[in-house]
Amino acid sequence: MTTLHRDPVLDGPVDLIPDEIELIEAAMRWHFDPRTGSPFWLEQADTLGFDPREDIHTIDDLARFPNIVDRLRYVPAGDLIPRGYAGQDDAVYGVYDSGGTTGPPKHVVIMSDWMSRLLVRTDEEMDARDYPRGVDWLALAPSGPHMFGAIVRETVRLRGRLGFMVDLDPRWVKKCIAAGRADHADQYADHIVAQARAVLESQDIGVLIATPPLLERLVRDEELRRLIAERVQVVEWGGAHLDPDTRYLLRTEVLPHTRIIGRYGSTMVLASAIERDGLAPDDPCIFDSFSPFVTFRVVDPESGEPVPYGSRGRVVMNHVSKSALLPNNLERDEATRIEPPLGRVGDSVADVSPVAVFGDSPVIEGVY
């Protein structure tokens, strides 16, 4: 007989935000108990030099962990599933890959309970920002092995009417750019825009999701800009850098009557952060994390210590839940450190931009 393992903190209601220390301590017990932890983390435990169940209590303590995400390029994905899920029907939602910006893709497993929690949070955030309900969506987004497309589809099922997708292959675009074939990358982007045009011309789209490079291509076409301005209520951008000047221009001159909202995330934390509500067009674009499950730190890349508020540094991300433990991940981005909203832990981040080189690899954003 299979024993179902449940924890009062980790299995709390999906709309309940737990206390930071209670969450961290419960997660350490879960992920490092031989009965419930994943094969991956149970194997790592002997190499850590500390006992997570005894020594890790807060978000700040997660900095003691090594950054393990590069190992996710090669580890068997099944080894990432906590043993405590054994015997639960439909426990696994899916397996997803990173975009491959800094090398071979990394693999993560998303459990169904985390997806449910994430969707409840997304729904609340969209309500707070007046995303319309019952309208058709168009997303120019990677599907296939990428988490972004899965979340878009689930969000449309939750809030929308019909969801139109134009699929992206970000790895192909980045491969073309890395090989010096910029003309091929341009042709591919034009191919995406042509598909988007067909949908925008024939359907009444209320929410448009696009990467900044593709959004800029869309609005350079006057007819497409007019269609978006007349029909689309919310444009959500993400997946690549949008510089402050372009963001200001989009919000004040190009699409002044359309809500333009940013989203920043990473496959390596199984989530994204939406732009803080109420920002003026010339305010920095601030993102608040889904703490305490997902947290940001902005650090000096040499010392690993937090930079002062208002200063630039590298972004470190953590994910801590029943579904997964992904701590102390130094991302490919730099940002300005911002104080989080009252009651949140970790840092908020503003004006996120990619570093030129990550590890030994140049960072190539492409269209995503």
Closest to 323 in 3D by CA, of 14, 25, 111, 123 = 111
Cα 90 to Cα 269, 345, 361, distances in angstroms: 21, 32, 38
Predicted TM-score (pTM) of this structure: 0.93
pLDDT of residue 89: 86
pLDDT of residue 181: 80
pLDDT of residue 287: 98
Q: Is residue 131 very low, low, confident or very high in pLDDT (cuts 50, 70, 90)?
A: very high
Section 339-348 average pLDDT: 97
State yes or no: pLDDT of 3 exceeds 70.
no
Query: Does a structural domain hold residue 70?
Result: no
Q: List the CATH number of the domain containing 155.
A: 3.40.50.12780
pLDDT of residue 156: 96
Closest to 219 in 3D by CA, of 250, 263, 173 = 250
Query: Does a structural domain hold residue 8?
Result: no
Query: Does a structural domain hold residue 223?
Result: yes
**Strand positions, DSSP E, 212-300:** 234-238, 259-266, 271-274, 286-287, 294-299
Q: Is residue 359 very low, low, confident or very high in pLDDT (cuts 50, 70, 90)?
A: low
pLDDT of residue 102: 66
Query: Does a structural domain hold residue 51?
Result: no
Query: Does a structural domain hold residue 47?
Result: no
pLDDT of residue 1: 44
State yes or no: pLDDT of 90 exceeds 80.
yes
Domain limits for position 327: 112-362
Query: Does a structural domain hold residue 95?
Result: no
The count of domains in the chain is 1
State yes or no: pLDDT of 106 exceeds 60.
yes
State yes or no: pLDDT of 358 exceeds 70.
no
What sign does the dihedral 307-266-113-66 (CA atoms) show? negative
State yes or no: pLDDT of 223 exceeds 70.
yes
Query: Does a structural domain hold residue 19?
Result: no
State yes or no: pLDDT of 20 exceeds 50.
yes
Q: How far apart are CA 161 and CA 338, in angstroms?
A: 36
Helix (H, G, I), strand (E, B) or coil at 39: helix
